[in-house]
């Protein structure tokens, strides 16, 4: 009998994951290693990347950590050379480094009369540097590693790029205008790259994670007695499935599917929401 088409086997592939010292991307690195790929874990925080690489190697996988600032083009190119020398040319790039910054976040959801003069960070207090930081990290931080690693993919078969967008790319979340706009740009760029590389044997897709409970954010989501915080209550009310996703298990399927050369061979330029229905729900 034929095997299930989604038995993703990445043996012999070299996968590069940026932001791999972080919560979601360290989990992606493990998923790719368990599927057989040799994994390069890139992060500004080399120590964090190295500790996850060590965990993968201890499990019997092949992983190596590299310090890399995804906003430094020369550094991206240098790391791309190092990865190629150590592990081989890159087949899979996961552009995971990204995130928001308090400097690009308003204190309140809504502008209220008087806020402009109040001791609160309103829309009018956002400085260009904070907004620029978030746009650069998410958009340029996807573009520059793609330039560095896609050079190793062109002209070969079975190569893939996976970008990480977000729920707020569809409808912006309150308080975080720059992060929302930057992730919308990442979704848009995913389509652009998919078209641009369509003749070069490189598929380019994205996932848009919704809300995931992790050890790191549990204290923000729940009160010490286990009851949801006010913000958690709003998130859960806006999530038709009524719960958070599990970062360890509920992103892996979409990642492996999009990278699977048999199951997803004709899929490029899509962004899959993984959000328990959040992006589909109007609230009514
Ligand atoms: N956590 C969520 O619920 C969620 C939801 C939607 C989208 N995302 C996106 O998923 C991705 C991973 O998120 P996460 O929650 O794991 O974040 P995280 O903060 O845990 O990890 C991000 C990692 O990126 C690294 N990094 C930051 N700036 C860098 C730079 N200039 N160069 C190289 N590395 C750099 C950090 O050191 C960190 O290890 C991000 O793109 C994020 O925007 C996360």
* Residue 110 is a catalytic residue: no
| Structural domain harbouring 227 | 14-280
Residue 5, domain member (yes or no): no
pLDDT value for 2 = 61
- CB of 187 within 6 A of ligand 1: the answer is no
Catalytic residue among 77, 110, 111, 179: 179
8 occurs within a structural domain: no
Distance (angstroms) between ligand 1 centre and the Cα of 199 equals 30
Angle at the Cα of 188 from the Cα atoms of 143 and 176, rounded to 5 degrees: 85
Is-contact 87 99, C-beta < 8 A?
no
Answer yes or no: is 2 within a domain: no
pTM, 2 dp: 0.97
Instruction: Kindly give the parts of the chain with pLDDT less than 70.
Output: 1-3
Task: Check which CATH number belongs to the domain holding 104 and give it.
Answer: 3.40.50.720
Please check whether residue 124 lies inside any domain of the structure. Answer: yes
- Count how many domains the chain has: 1
- Substitution site in 22, 53, 80, 93 for ligand 1 pocket (most atoms within 8 Å of beta carbon): 22
Q: What number of helices (H) and strands (E) belong to the chain?
A: 9, 9
Spacing, Cα 231 to ligand 1 middle (Å): 21
Q: Is 93 in the pocket of ligand 1 (CB under 6 A)?
A: no
Q: Output the pLDDT for position 219.
A: 77
Q: DSSP labels for 87-135?
A: T-S-SEEEE------GGG--SSSS--TTTTTSSS--GGG--HHHHHHHH
| Predicted pLDDT of residue 189 | 99
Q: In this predicted structure, what is the pLDDT of residue 3?
A: 65
pLDDT of residue 115: 87
Q: What is the CA radius of gyration of the chain?
A: 19
Specify the pLDDT at position 176. 96
Identify the CA nearest to 147 among candidates 191, 212, 218, 197: 197
DSSP structural state of residue 222: B
At 162, give phi and psi (nearest 5°): -125, 115
**Residues 72, 87: Cα–Cα separation, whole Å:** 22
Rounded to the nearest whole angstrom, what is the distance from the C-alpha of residue 22 to the centroid of ligand 1? 6
pLDDT value of residue 214: 80
| 1 falls within a domain | no
| Cβ–ligand 1 contact at 115 (below 6 Å) | no
């Amino acid at each position: 009998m034929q095997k299930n088409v989604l038995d993703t086997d990445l043996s012999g592939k070299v996968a590069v994951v940026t932001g791999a010292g972080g919560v979601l991307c360290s989990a992606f690195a493990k998923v790719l290693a368990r599927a057989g790929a040799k994994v390069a874990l890139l992060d500004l925080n080399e120590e964090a990347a190295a500790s996850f690489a060590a965990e993968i190697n201890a499990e019997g996988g092949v992983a190596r950590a590299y310090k890399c600032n995804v906003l430094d083009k020369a550094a991206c190119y240098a790391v791309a050379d190092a990865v190629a020398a150590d592990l081989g040319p890159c087949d899979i790039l996961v552009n995971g480094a990204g995130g928001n910054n308090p400097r690009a976040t308003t204190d309140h959801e809504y502008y209220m009369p008087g806020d402009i003069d109040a001791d609160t960070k309103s829309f009018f207090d956002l400085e260009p540097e904070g907004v620029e930081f978030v746009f650069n990290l998410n958009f340029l931080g996807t573009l520059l590693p793609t330039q560095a690693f896609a050079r190793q993919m062109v002209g070969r078969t079975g190569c893939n790029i996976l970008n990480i967008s977000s729920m707020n790319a569809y409808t912006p979340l309150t308080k975080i205008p720059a992060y929302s706009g930057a992730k919308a740009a990442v979704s848009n760029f995913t389509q652009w790259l998919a078209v641009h590389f369509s003749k070069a044997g490189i598929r380019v897709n994205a996932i848009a994670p919704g809300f995931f409970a992790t050890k790191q954010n549990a204290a923000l989501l729940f009160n010490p007695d286990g009851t949801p915080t006010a913000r958690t209550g709003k998130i859960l009310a806006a999530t038709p499935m009524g719960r958070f996703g599990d970062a360890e298990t509920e992103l892996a399927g979409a990642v492996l599917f999009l990278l699977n050369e048999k199951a997803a061979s004709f899929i490029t330029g899509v962004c899959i929401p993984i959000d328990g229905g959040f992006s589909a729900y109007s609230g009514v």
